[in-house]
Structure 1
């Protein structure tokens, strides 16, 4: 177990707890608790069901991408491996950036395929998941532009969505047009770094330049293979879109559990914008995602702040807790050390 990464995770959870503490305090602890206590258990069960459907949909997207890369994995295993991926995201700092290497190990262990191909698969899924989220956010923002006057928070959030909607495709297009140059740049910069790190780690042999170049070429080649398969892209994007819809239904149901119906377009805008906060240093974006969701929803809803905060906490408890429980069992069963990378 890597002590430095373990300490970083502990500090991340402490930071998340601090941010959540500030959020709870600002919403009035007594009112927030009263709202949580009155939540209807049958509807909460539906929230959990929506989250399970989200995990199934994105697990299917992962299976589709692996299929494009020539890796066959049964649907039930894809579901459990994706739960393992979400577990890794939720217990390592910086969310997906911290969890992807562990996820690649999980995929490699389950499918007996190369690490680089596995890493390319989960990186492709994460990238594909970005596009429906921004589309939903912009649709939600466009709806509210016709219904109400934008406050400062909504203007900032919409501005972020617009910038991402433009910047990511442009960067992706430029990277694709210059992929050979990019491959040479990455290989040239990465090889000395990998060799330097290998010299410092006991029991790890220094890889040759040819080995590093081969692994980088293998990874980038796998990314290219996914990007040039239209059928696979359409299926994976459809599964990703369905997954986002399930998350949105989950938040909508969380409000229903508190007997506070809201318009589905509200959560269509808020859920993707909250997910952007997952890039923060805390494990799984905990604390920051809840704060962003609550801040946005308080602005657009004529609902007491404590009720909004309670709905967000119920929703996030399912989004965070279900994959941590299932994914933790998967990681333990396969025997992958989350802190070993």
Structure 2
């Protein structure tokens, strides 16, 4: 397996060109001169603290993946899980639609590192992404509660963000409940829909051979069995959720420090609301949600804290530089090593 076979580099390049255009429009709309003036106020010592927190976030979520793999019965070392999660982060950052676009690649990297079947890797990364949802929404609810207790004003945008948190929680819980209750029917539906699509891909795409129906049934069944094994281990689920909470809290601190680095002091509680709601914009159809994520962060930071738009934009530029570009560069290097070792093996 080569990087060319795993990644569609032409689509990725086009995606980044589109992302650059979207970011250019965003920065021009806010005012480039004002943003640059704010960035010049950034304190190097505070930026250094921010960069020092990035490994803590990656370690926490890498340990979340490690715990899920333990629940699957395919344990890897803690260090290996952290390294693979960082590589999976790269896959999510360079493909459109965030986690949704990067999950198939992440699943492949996990399956290779853990020496397990692909469906186990897919079940692991899908479970990790699902686990991340609940702590993020819980953090948002805590933030809303603290806003009420401390008597902060709820503007229209903040009220909309709060409503979004509540609706997301209710909708996600309902979807999970129905999905688990009717999982056998869903599996049957997938098996009836997927084979014709796979056969068409096998006829259309060069060098891709279509698996047999038995192969598809084995993999789909293996995926649902893996999900069931993870769900049947509540102790490890709680532990994984704890690591997820640590990662989310670290990201909230990073956002707060990004504002502090340019001399803007805001209530930390606002970050608990901004982060989970703005992160939803990761589904924006550009690599890593670029453009949509930045816009959501800026709007919510301004709504919850009242800071100037130029200051909020500068802080988001710093935050995304640390939490998007740094992990992507490190994860890209790790991914290249994994693929090179795989190529040498075969």
Same fold (TM over 0.5): yes
2:57 aligned partner: 54
Q: Which runs of 5+ in 1 are unaligned?
A: 337-341
Q: Give, in angstroms, the shift of residue 207 of structure 1.
A: 1.7
Residues 147-194 of structure 1, C-alpha deviation per residue, up to 9 Å, x if partnerless? 344333223222222211001111111111111111111111112211
CA distance, structure 1, for counterparts of residue 267 and residue 55 of structure 2 = 22
Q: Is the 8 A contact 2:41 2:263 kept in 1?
A: no
Secondary structure of the structure 2 residue equivalent to 1:261: coil
For the Cα contact (< 8 Å) 1:16–1:288, is it kept in 2? no
1:226 matches 2:235 = no
Deviations 1:192-228 (A, max 9, x none): 2112211223333332211110110001110111111
Residue 190 (structure 1) aligned to one of 191, 194, 214: 194
TM-score normalised by L of structure 1: 0.94
Tell me if the contact between 1:8 and 1:93 (Cα under 8 Å) persists in the aligned partners. no
Indicate whether 1:64 and 2:64 are aligned.
no
**Counterpart for residue 29 of structure 2:** 26
What are the equivalent positions in structure 2 for 1:146-185 lying under 5 Å apart?
Answer: 147-185=151-189
| Pairing 1:96–2:107 present | no
In structure 1, C-alpha distance between the alignment counterparts of 2:32 and 2:24, rounded to whole Å: 10
Q: Would the alpha carbon gap of residues 158 and 12 (structure 1) be closer, same or farther in structure 2, given more than 3 Å must change?
A: farther
CA distance in 2, matches of 1:167, 1:204: 38
2 CA distance for matches of 1:309 and 1:202? 45
Give the alignment's Cα RMSD to 1 decimal.
Answer: 1.9
1:316 aligns with 2:320: yes
Q: Which runs of 5+ in 2 are unaligned?
A: 341-346
Cα distance in structure 1, aligned partners of 2:36 and 2:47 = 16
Match of 1:138 among 133, 136, 141: 141
Q: Out of 66-75 and 156-165, give the one that drifted further.
A: 156-165
Q: How does 1:160-309 map to 2 (within 5 A)?
A: 160-309=164-313
Residue in structure 2 matched with residue 10 of structure 1 by the alignment: 13
Question: In 1, distance between residues paired with 2:126 and 2:92?
Answer: 13
Task: Tell me the CA shift for residue 145 of structure 1.
Answer: 4.2
Shift of 1:26: 2.7
Alignment-derived partner of residue 86 in structure 1: 89
1:333 aligned partner: 337
Alpha-carbon contact 1:278-1:288 (below 8 Å) kept: yes
CA distance in 2, matches of 1:300, 1:201: 49
Question: Using CA pairs below 8 Å that are at least 6 residues apart, which structure has the higher relative contact order?
Answer: 1
Q: Which residue of 2 aligns with 1:339?
A: none
Which 10-residue stretch deviates more, 6-15 or 193-202? Answer: 6-15
Q: Deviations over 1:301-339 (max 9, x none)?
A: 232221111111101110101211110011100117xxx
Could you tell me whether the CA contact under 8 Å between 2:201 and 2:208 is conserved in 1? no
TM-score scaled by length of structure 2:
0.93
Give the aligned partner of residue 343 of structure 2.
Answer: none
Matched-pair contact (CA < 8 Å) for 2:62–2:84: yes
CA distance in 2, matches of 1:11, 1:56: 31
